[in-house]
């Protein structure tokens, strides 16, 4: 059995990115607490083949590898900056290339960032339905952070860090349960 993996995917298109830093913070927390291997990607990692791809097979080899890691993850952490009340277009396009059954039952921790509180419901009104379509298991606690929650690109808000820790605890319950199922089945 290979080491269970947690994969983060951020919808940012620029670097440095608060969204990617936020996603990676959560990925690393889950990985460190539960002994998982980890990787975090963003749109920039996927590269230019994403915009022209109509199918997953249209992606270049590095982008296909990232898509494969997302699909194969034991736990997925997703995040997007908020643009006009929703996730980024290329974030959505990346997930459009995934077979609808490929994420069924996969634990997904939802995050988003935005300029202010008025976009806080992106996680509930945009991300949760997207992963509901895939029949993924979106964790109950989603986390939204605003620009004021970061200092020099690092999440520093105690209430947001506590909410993130709550989501990490939920992911841990699922990771522990999934590991137990694997061991029992071996």
For 61-109, write each residue's pLDDT tens digit: 999 999 999 999 999 999 999 988 899 999 999 999 999 999 999 999 9
Decide if 170 contacts 139 (C-beta within 8 A).
yes
* DSSP letter for each residue of 137-166: EE-S--EEEEGGGEETTEE--HHHHHHHHH
Answer yes or no: is pLDDT of 184 > 70. no
Decide if 78 contacts 109 (C-beta within 8 A).
yes
Quote the pTM value. 0.91
CATH superfamily of 5-185: Flavodoxin domain (3.40.50.360)
Question: What is the rounded average pLDDT for all residues in the chain?
Answer: 91
Answer yes or no: is pLDDT of 180 > 70. no
Spatial separation of the C-alpha atoms in residues 183 and 186, rounded to whole Å:
5
Binning pLDDT at 50, 70 and 90, where does residue 1 land? very low
What percentage of the chain exceeds 70 in pLDDT?
93
Q: What pLDDT sits at residue 117?
A: 87
Q: What pLDDT sits at residue 118?
A: 83
Decide if 12 contacts 81 (C-beta within 8 A).
yes
Answer yes or no: is pLDDT of 179 > 60. no
Strand ranges (DSSP E) for the chain? 5-10, 37-42, 75-81, 107-114, 137-138, 143-146, 150-151, 154-155
Answer yes or no: is pLDDT of 133 > 70. yes
Q: Is 78 helix (H, G, I), strand (E, B) or coil?
A: strand
Q: What is the mean pLDDT of residues 118-125?
A: 90
Q: What pLDDT sits at residue 174?
A: 84
Q: What pLDDT sits at residue 85?
A: 87
Answer yes or no: is pLDDT of 185 > 60. no
Spatial separation of the C-alpha atoms in residues 79 and 77, rounded to whole Å:
7
Decide if 76 contacts 136 (C-beta within 8 A).
yes
Residue in 164, 41, 184, 134 with CA at minimum distance from that of residue 176: 184
Q: Long-range contacts made by residues 86-89, C-beta under 8 angstroms, separation at least 24? A: 86/122, 86/126, 87/11, 87/112, 87/122, 87/126, 87/127, 87/130, 88/11, 88/12, 88/13, 88/43
Residue in 33, 21, 6, 25 with CA at minimum distance from that of residue 107: 6
Q: Which residues contact 108 (CB under 8 A, 6 or more apart)?
A: 75, 76, 77, 78, 131, 136, 137, 138, 139
- The tokens for 110 are 């939802």
């Amino acid at each position: 059995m290979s080491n269970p993996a947690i994969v983060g995917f951020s919808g940012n298109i620029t670097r440095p990115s608060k969204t990617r830093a936020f996603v990676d913070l959560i990925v690393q927390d889950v990985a460190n607490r539960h002994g998982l291997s980890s990787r975090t990607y963003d749109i920039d990692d996927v590269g230019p083949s994403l915009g022209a791809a109509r199918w997953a097979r249209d992606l270049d080899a590095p982008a296909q590898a990232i898509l494969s890691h997302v699909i194969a993850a034991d736990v997925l952490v997703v995040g997007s900056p908020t643009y006009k009340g929703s996730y980024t277009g290329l974030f959505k396009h990346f997930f459009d290339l995934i077979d609808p059954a490929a994420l069924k039952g996969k634990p997904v921790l939802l995050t988003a960032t935005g300029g202010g509180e008025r976009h806080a419901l992106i996680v509930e009104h945009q991300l949760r339905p997207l992963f509901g379509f895939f029949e993924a298991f979106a964790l109950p606690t989603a986390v939204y952070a605003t620009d004021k929650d970061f200092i020099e690109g690092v999440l520093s808000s105690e209430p947001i860090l506590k909410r993130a820790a709550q989501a990490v605890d939920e992911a841990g319950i699922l990771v522990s349960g999934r590991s137990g199922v694997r061991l029992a089945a071996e």
